[in-house]
Amino acid sequence: MAVVSSGERWDDVPFHAVRVAYVAALVDTARVDVATLPVEQVASIELLDRFDGLLLTGGASMVHPSAYGAIARADDAYDRARDTFAFDALRAAHALGLPTFGVCRGLQEMAVAFGGSLRPLPDHREDLSLPRDEQYLPRHGVALAQGGLLQRLLHADEISVNSLHGQGVDDLGPVLRREAVSAGGAIEAASHPEHPFFLGVQWHPEWYAGSEPVARTLFEAFGAAVRGGAGAGSRPVAPHPVSAGAT
C-alpha cells in the first residue's frame, strides 16, 4: 500500500510526514502493509505499478489555487510538491485500476486532478479548544447518493461525520461522481464511476478507524479491494482524462 506523504518542517528541517493514525488504520483495520512515498519524485505509472493500492492523506497545507485557475490566499499554507505528485499519482492509479482512497486533502486532490475546483469553507473547521480526540468525533450529517459506492458499502442513506477542513470541493469536474453532500450543499465525498474503488471523502475516518462503524467499514472495504486485486504489475491499463489545469 502506497501512502502519499506531505512536506512538513520541524526545527526548521524539512520532513516527509504521514500521521500515525493513517498508518494504524491501514495496518490494523484495512490489514495491508504500508510504504510511504516522498513527493520529490515522479509519480509515474511505473512507480505506482509496484503497489496494490494508494492512499492520499489529509494535511495542514491547501492545494494551491493555481492548479484550478484561482488566486492564492496569503494566509494559507501550500505544498506544491505534494500537489504535483498527488495529481500525477491519481492519474497513474486510475490508469492502472489501482484501489485508491483519498481523505480530506486527498478528496480535493482527486477533484482538481480530474478537472474540478475548490472553495473556502471556513465554517467547516474543527473547534481547536476541544481535546484532539473530541475534534474527530461526528459533527454533522451527510446524505449519501442513491446507488453510489458509499451507500452500497454502508447500507445507509445518511451518516454522521467529523469536520476538520477549511476548504472543500466546489466543482467535481466532468468525470467524478458525487457520493455525499452536507445539509448546506458541500460535497463530502466523490468517486470515479468507471473504477471499482476510487473514493475520496472530506471527513477524517482514520482517527477512529478501529471503533467507529462508518470509519471501520470504509477502511475494511479499502483493504478488501487492495487484497482482492490481481497484484502489482498485472492490472490492465485504462485510458484516463488529464486536466489541463492540474499540472
Q: What string of pLDDT tens digits covers the 247 residues of the chain?
A: 999 998 888 888 988 899 999 999 999 999 999 999 999 888 999 999 999 999 999 988 889 999 999 998 888 889 999 999 999 999 999 999 999 999 999 999 999 999 999 998 755 565 666 787 887 888 889 999 999 999 999 999 999 999 885 789 999 999 999 999 998 899 999 999 999 999 999 999 999 999 999 999 999 999 999 998 644 434 443 433 333 333 3
pTM above 0.85, yes or no: yes
Q: Answer whether residue 239 is part of any domain.
A: no
Number of compact structural domains in the chain: 1
Domain assignment of residue 241, yes or no: no
Instruction: Check which CATH number belongs to the domain holding 163 and give it.
Output: 3.40.50.880
Q: Flag whether 238 is in a domain.
A: no
Is residue 243 in a domain? no
The catalytic site residues sit at 104, 204, 206
Please indicate, yes or no, if residue 247 is contained in any of the structural domains.
no
DSSP assignments along the chain, one per residue: -EEE-EEEEETTEEEEE--HHHHHIIIIII----EEE-SSS---HHHHTT-S-EEE---SSBPPGGGGT----TT--B-HHHHHHHHHHHHHHHHHT--EEEETHHHHHHHHHTT-EEEE-GGGS--TTS-HHHHTS--EEEEEPTTSHHHHHHT-SEEEE----SEEEEE-TTT-EEEEEETT--EEEEE-TTSSSEEEESS--STTTTTSHHHHHHHHHHHHHHHTS--TT-SPP------TT--
Q: Is residue 25 part of a domain?
A: yes
Q: Is residue 242 part of a domain?
A: no
156 is in which domain, residue-wise? Answer: 2-227
Is there a domain that residue 244 lies in? no
